[in-house]
Amino acid sequence: MNASRTRALRLPVATLVCSVVLLSGCSDSGSPGRREASTTQAAQPAQPAVPAADTDLQSDYQKVIRDVLPSVVQIQAGSDLGSGVVYDDKGHIVTNAHVLGDEKTFKVTIPNSENELTATLVYAYPEQDLAVIELDKVPDGLRAAAFGDSAKVAVGQIVLAMGSPLGLSSSVTQGIVSATGRTVSEDGGGGAGATIANMVQTSAAINPGNSGGALVNLDGQVIGIPTLAAIDPNFGDSAVPGIGFAIPASMVKTVADQIIENGRVTDSGRAALGITGRTVVDDSFRAVGVAVVDVKNGGAADKAGIEAGDVITKLGDTGITTITSLSEALAADRPGQQTSVTFTRDGRAKTVRVTLGEQ
């Protein structure tokens, strides 16, 4: 792994690869080159006045950055770098679970401070790709971010993404909310990653290291945690500009509050079928369903009569071809909800009613 690792959604969507070129230069104040440059600048025509509307928007951006950026930290987990958001004045920081990996202790850098702090894992919840860490010592002036209402997030809303892309701490990018209510599955790096519902899609650039940072509205409220950046595997895994995803603030608060209060997630709010399964392919190697490998005793599938060996092909009205598509369909439902499951057994199709359990 390296410092630029990030989670990704393939279109199917995955990690975003980019490079940074830093250019610098200087000249002596008394050199001819400097005088020539000054003369050239003086000869330029006067620039038109900036429209008042643009000035007002710029002021809004700068105020939001001043208010929120001090709450967005850089997290070092082993050799990897990511971002986090100060959740309260007790030193709790929320981030993505994938930023932390398998580490238990971390180094944290707060904006405008060169002092490196240490933090300890409270709990990671990979199913929602969220985690909370706690600073071992709370510094003076630690500022918690304000979290907004996800229900008020609207398409077209201007947002800023704050974090440490490619290790460049306290970086800010700008965009809009492109869509809401997206259900996406992460690339788990060789295995299935988390499937997350109701994500916010944004055009603000999300690069490696932005994960765990803040997606912020112009009221200075965190409306999401940037988590996924997109690449297109059909074009050599090239970056897809302007497609990123953030976990909505409502889910962040739900998970973080439970972790801080109980030390773990006690109520996931995520529906479960109560099975272990694997993707089945046909003779042409096309995915055609999910084979039930094991059924949880007393779970939703068990109560509905689903058995090991059955191949699930539909949940409600949604066709199921892979374990990922089953996870995405379940992510759109709620525990206790009734639905139907269609499966094949011994070559014959069968449909049963199921009351979904909780993950």
| pLDDT per residue as tens, the chain (359 positions) | 344 445 655 554 333 333 333 233 333 333 333 332 322 233 344 455 555 667 789 999 999 999 999 999 999 999 999 999 999 999 999 999 999 999 999 999 998 777 899 999 999 999 999 999 999 999 998 999 999 998 899 999 999 999 999 889 999 999 999 999 988 888 765 445 788 888 999 999 998 899 999 999 999 999 999 998 877 777 666 667 899 999 999 999 999 999 999 999 998 888 889 999 999 989 888 989 999 999 999 999 999 999 999 999 999 999 999 888 898 888 888 889 999 999 999 989 999 999 999 87
* For the chain, domain boundaries: 69-135, 146-262, 271-358
Half-sphere exposure of 69 (CA within 13 A, CB side): 17
**Does 69-135 carry CATH code 2.60.120.10?**
no
Whether the CB-CB separation of 84 and 94 falls below 8 Å is answered with yes
* 3 state SS of 307: coil
- Cα distance between residue 73 and residue 163, in whole Å: 7
| β-pairing verdict for 221-232 and 146-147 | parallel
* 3 state SS of 7: strand
- 115: tokens are 């002092």
Which amino acids are annotated catalytic? 98, 129, 211
> What number of other Cβ atoms are within 10 A of residue 155's Cβ?
12
Which CATH code is given to the segment(s) 146-262? Answer: 2.40.10.10
Whether the CB-CB separation of 133 and 96 falls below 8 Å is answered with no
Q: Which residues make Cβ contacts (< 8 Å) with residue 237, sequence separation at least 6?
A: 14, 17, 231
For the segment(s) 271-358, the CATH number from 2.60.300.12, 3.30.420.40, 2.30.42.10, 3.90.1150.10 is 2.30.42.10
- Cα distance between residue 10 and residue 13, in whole Å: 1
Helices (H), 44-136: 52-68, 97-100
Whether the CB-CB separation of 238 and 195 falls below 8 Å is answered with no
Domains 146-262 and 271-358 share a fold: no
Structure pTM?
0.75
